[in-house]
């Protein structure tokens, strides 16, 4: 998705894909999409699709990875080569290495790692199609996958991006908005405690605008949280 000089991303209060500034894209969530994994989930925001699978807690090997008093979390965010316009070369790019780290840190605070010494909880995320906001979509998927795996959690983690295009504050940036935005804030939080576990920003914003975008994210996150809870409950309703 390219940088286009002078592009008008918002016209008459509508974004290029027809959304209002504070409107999320169409969302889809499923759990149990990878039968082999202990837990898994697919989350789609518009065209951005992430599949997350959780393996573990299982013995951490090789042994030097083990921590004597808690579980470790290993996370890999990976973009499928066909997920964007120009093919992504397989193997971790610097961007993917960084995102893997911040996604892991976004999820760790809700886990009871001290309950599983010497083990690893492995979170693998594949971006099948990318159209902006992939890291937050990954967090929503991984959070569901952890719950689906039955890993005890203090709460789910909810994530969404907010930003500014053509001087207007918006929520849930798609690819073209992401690349041409004045600013972009991906954020994840624990809904119950309103605790922020991922916060990044790039662009140009005044402090007041940052506050406003964060408020917008908290608000939009409620909608995502409701859907996460629903898909989890629905799965177990079928079993009962």
Indicate whether 194 belongs to the interface with other proteins (CB under 8 A): yes
Residues 128-187 that bind other proteins (CB under 8 A): 179, 185
Judged by DSSP in three states, 207 sits in helix
Say how far apart CA 117 and CA 72 lie, in whole Å.
8
Token pair for 59? 């013995």
Token pair for 19? 């959304």
Indicate whether 211 belongs to the interface with other proteins (CB under 8 A): yes
Cβ proximity to other proteins: between 166 and 200 the closer is 200
Q: What minimum distance in Å lies between the beta carbon of 164 and other proteins?
A: 12
Q: What does the DSSP 8-state code read for residue 72?
A: E
Judged by DSSP in three states, 210 sits in helix
Indicate whether 196 belongs to the interface with other proteins (CB under 8 A): yes
Q: What minimum distance in Å lies between the beta carbon of 188 and other proteins?
A: 9
Say how far apart CA 193 and CA 175 lie, in whole Å.
30
Indicate whether 3 belongs to the interface with other proteins (CB under 8 A): yes
Q: Which stretch binds other proteins (CB under 8 A): 42-50, 122-130, 133-141, 198-206?
A: 198-206
Q: Which residue in 13, 36, 64, 204 binds other proteins (CB under 8 A)?
A: 204
- How do beta strands 10-11 and 183-190 pair? unpaired
- How do beta strands 158-165 and 10-11 pair? unpaired
Q: What minimum distance in Å lies between the beta carbon of 232 and other proteins?
A: 21
Token pair for 20? 């209002």
Q: What minimum distance in Å lies between the beta carbon of 99 and other proteins?
A: 10
Say how far apart CA 54 and CA 38 lie, in whole Å.
6
Question: Can you name the residues that pair with 52 across neighbouring β-strands?
Answer: 41, 125
Per-residue mark of binding to other proteins, 48-87 (x: CB under 8 A): ----------------------------------------
Decide: 34 and 5 in contact? Cβ < 8 Å: no
Q: Which stretch binds other proteins (CB under 8 A): 1-9, 12-20, 31-39, 126-134?
A: 1-9
Q: What does the DSSP 8-state code read for residue 153?
A: B
Residues counted in the chain: 240
Cβ proximity to other proteins: between 17 and 155 the closer is 155
Q: Which residues bind other proteins (CB under 8 A)?
A: 2-4, 94-95, 97-98, 100-102, 105, 108-109, 179, 185, 189-190, 193-207, 210-211, 214-215, 218
């Amino acid at each position: 998705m390219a940088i286009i000089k002078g592009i008008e991303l918002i016209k008459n209060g509508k974004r290029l894909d027809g959304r209002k500034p504070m409107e999320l894209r169409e969302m889809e969530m499923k759990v149990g999409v990878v039968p082999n994994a202990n837990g898994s989930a697919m989350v789609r925001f518009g065209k951005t699709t992430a599949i997350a699978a959780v393996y573990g807690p299982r013995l951490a090997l090789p042994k030097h990875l083990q921590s004597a008093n808690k579980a470790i979390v290993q996370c890999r965010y990976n973009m499928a080569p066909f997920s964007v316009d120009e093919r992504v070369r397989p193997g971790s790019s610097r961007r993917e290495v960084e995102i893997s780290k911040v996604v892991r840190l976004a999820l760790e605070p809700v886990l009871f790692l001290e309950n599983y010494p010497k083990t690893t909880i492995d979170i693998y995320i594949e971006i099948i199609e990318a159209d902006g906001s992939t890291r937050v979509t990954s967090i929503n998927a991984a959070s569901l996958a952890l719950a689906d795996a039955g890993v005890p959690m203090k709460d789910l983690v909810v994530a969404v991006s907010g930003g500014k295009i053509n001087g207007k504050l918006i929520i849930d940036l798609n690819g073209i908005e992401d690349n041409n935005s004045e600013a972009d804030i991906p954020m994840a939080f624990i809904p119950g405690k309103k605790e922020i576990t991922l916060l990044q920003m790039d662009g140009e914003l005044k402090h007041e605008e940052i506050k406003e975008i964060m408020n917008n994210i908290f608000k939009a996150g409620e909608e995502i949280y409701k859907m996460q809870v629903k898909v989890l409950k629905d799965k177990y309703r079928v079993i009962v």
